[in-house]
C-alpha cells in the first residue's frame, strides 16, 4: 500500500529558479514526446515510452543542452510515468486523448527514490542540494518517489511511501456507520449526526468576479496583447484565491474522512455518478464544494491503514426511498421532499438519516 505526504517547501531564490527550470524541462519533454507519439500513431510506427526516452537522450546534448542543467529525472519521468500513464488511461477509456502541458498550469516534476534524500525537515535534490521542508515525513516505509510542484507561487513536495497493509478488523467486533452525502449538508451519518460543508465557492464568488474584472482591464486582458506586470499581479491574486478555495475543500474532506476511518470499522457509502451530477448547472457548484469524488477517494485509501471496511452500495440502490424499519419502498418520493412517512408501517423519516441507516444496513449485509 502506497501513501503520499505532501509537504510545503521553502526554497531560496536560487533554489526556486532551479525548481522552475526543472518544471519547464519536464513540461518540454512531455510535449516533445507527445508530438512524437502522435506522429507514430499517424504513420503506424510502433512506439513506447522507452523508445521515446532513448530518442530524447540521443538528441538532448546537441539540440537541447539546457536540459542538462537540471536532474535527468525531470524529463525521463515526465515521459516514463506521466505520458505513459496518460496513454494507458486513454486506451482504457478512462480519459481523453493526452493534451499538451501549458506553462503556469502544469508546474511539476518527479524524482526517483534513488536520486533524492530526506533527512528531518529537508530534502536533497540532485544538482541543487538541500531544500527546507515545513515538516518531517509523516510515514515510515520504503520511499518510492517524490513529485515537486508549484501552486500559486508556493512549492510543495509529495513523497510517496510504500507501507505495510494492516489486517482488517474482525467481523465480530465491527462498529458500523452509514454515510449519506448531500448538497444541503456535506454528510449525514446513520446515528443522526449532520456535518455541514463549507460553501467556499459562494463565499469567494464576489471576490473572484472582482479580480477577474480587474485582470480583464489590465494590459494583456485582450487576446494578442503583451501581458503587463499589473496583469500578471492580478493573475497571481486569482491563482492564490483558487488555491485557498482548494485548500478549504481539501481540509474539510480530510478531517471528515480521517474521523470516519479512525472511529468506525465498517462504513457504507453510495456509488454516486459525480460526472453526471455535475452536468446540472444548478447543482454543479455545490457538488464541487462538497468534493464527492475526493471524499470517496480519501475514504478508500485511508481505510487501508485504519483497519476499516468500506462497502459501496450500487448507484441504483434506493437508499432514500426504502423504509429502514420495514423495508417498504416509496416510489413516489420526490427530490424536494425532506421528510416522509412510510405508507406501510407509518414510520416518520428524515430523508438523509433514513438513507444513511439504509447504507449502514446495506454494508452490514454485504460485508464478506
Among 107, 145, 270, 289, the one annotated catalytic: 270
The residue annotated as part of the active site, out of 106, 107, 265, 352, is 352
Going through the chain in order, the beta strands assigned E by DSSP cover: 2-10, 108-112, 117-119, 122-125, 129-133, 142-151, 154-162, 176-181, 187-189, 194-195, 266-270, 309-313, 339-341, 348-350
**Is residue 352 annotated as part of the catalytic site, yes or no?**
yes
Is 271 catalytic? The answer is: no
The cell numbers describing 263, all together, are: 472511529
Active site residue 164: no
The catalytic position among 36, 106, 145, 180 is 180
User: Measured between alpha carbons, how far is 142 from 132 in angstroms, rounded to an integer?
Assistant: 21
Task: Find cell 494583456 and name the residue.
Answer: 220
Instruction: Report d(CA 47, CA 124) in Å as an integer.
Output: 34
Is the four-CA dihedral 209, 212, 213, 214 of positive or negative sign? positive
Q: What is the DSSP-derived secondary structure letter of residue 271?
A: -
Q: Using CA atoms, how far apart are residues 62 and 226, in angstroms rounded to an integer?
A: 32
Catalytic residues: 180, 270, 352
Amino acid at each position: 500500500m502506497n501513501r503520499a505526504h505532501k509537504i510545503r517547501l521553502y526554497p531560496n531564490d536560487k533554489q526556486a529558479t532551479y525548481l522552475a527550470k526543472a518544471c519547464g524541462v519536464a513540461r518540454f519533454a512531455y510535449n516533445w514526446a507527445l508530438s512524437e507519439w502522435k506522429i507514430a500513431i499517424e504513420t503506424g510506427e510502433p512506439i513506447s515510452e522507452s523508445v521515446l526516452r532513448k530518442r530524447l537522450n540521443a538528441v538532448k546534448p546537441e539540440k537541447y543542452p539546457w536540459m542538462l542543467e537540471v536532474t535527468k529525472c525531470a524529463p525521463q519521468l515526465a515521459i516514463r510515468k506521466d505520458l505513459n500513464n496518460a496513454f494507458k488511461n486513454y486506451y482504457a477509456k478512462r480519459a481523453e486523448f493526452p493534451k499538451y502541458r501549458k506553462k503556469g498550469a502544469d508546474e511539476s516534476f518527479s524524482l526517483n527514490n534513488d536520486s533524492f534524500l530526506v533527512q528531518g525537515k529537508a530534502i536533497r535534490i540532485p544538482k541543487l542540494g538541500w531544500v527546507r521542508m515545513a515538516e518531517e515525513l509523516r510515514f515510515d516505509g520504503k520511499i518510492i518517489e517524490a513529485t515537486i510542484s508549484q501552486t500559486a507561487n508556493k512549492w510543495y513536495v509529495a513523497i510517496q511511501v510504500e507501507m505495510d497493509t494492516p489486517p482488517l478488523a474482525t467481523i465480530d467486533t465491527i462498529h458500523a456507520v452509514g454515510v449519506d452525502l448531500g448538497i444541503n449538508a456535506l454528510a449525514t451519518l446513520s446515528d443522526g449526526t449532520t456535518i455541514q460543508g463549507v460553501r467556499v465557492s459562494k463565499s469567494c464568488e464576489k471576490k473572484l468576479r472582482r479580480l477577474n474584472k480587474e485582470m480583464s482591464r489590465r494590459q494583456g486582458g485582450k487576446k494578442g496583447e503583451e501581458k503587463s506586470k499589473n496583469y500578471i499581479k492580478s493573475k497571481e491574486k486569482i491563482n492564490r484565491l483558487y488555491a485557498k478555495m482548494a485548500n478549504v475543500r481539501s481540509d474539510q474532506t480530510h478531517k471528515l474522512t480521517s474521523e470516519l476511518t479512525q472511529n468506525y470499522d465498517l462504513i457504507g457509502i453510495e456509488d454516486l455518478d459525480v460526472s453526471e451530477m455535475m452536468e446540472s448547472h444548478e447543482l454543479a457548484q455545490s457538488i464541487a464544494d462538497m468534493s464527492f469524488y475526493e471524499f470517496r477517494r480519501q475514504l478508500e485509501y485511508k481505510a487501508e491503514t485504519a483497519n476499516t471496511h468500506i462497502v459501496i452500495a450500487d448507484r441504483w440502490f434506493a437508499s432514500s426511498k426504502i423504509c429502514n424499519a420495514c423495508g417498504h419502498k416509496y416510489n413516489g418520493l420526490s427530490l424536494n421532499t425532506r421528510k416522509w412517512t412510510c405508507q406501510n408501517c407509518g414510520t416518520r423519516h428524515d430523508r438523509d438519516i433514513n438513507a444513511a441507516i439504509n447504507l449502514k444496513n446495506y454494508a452490514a449485509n454485504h460485508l464478506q
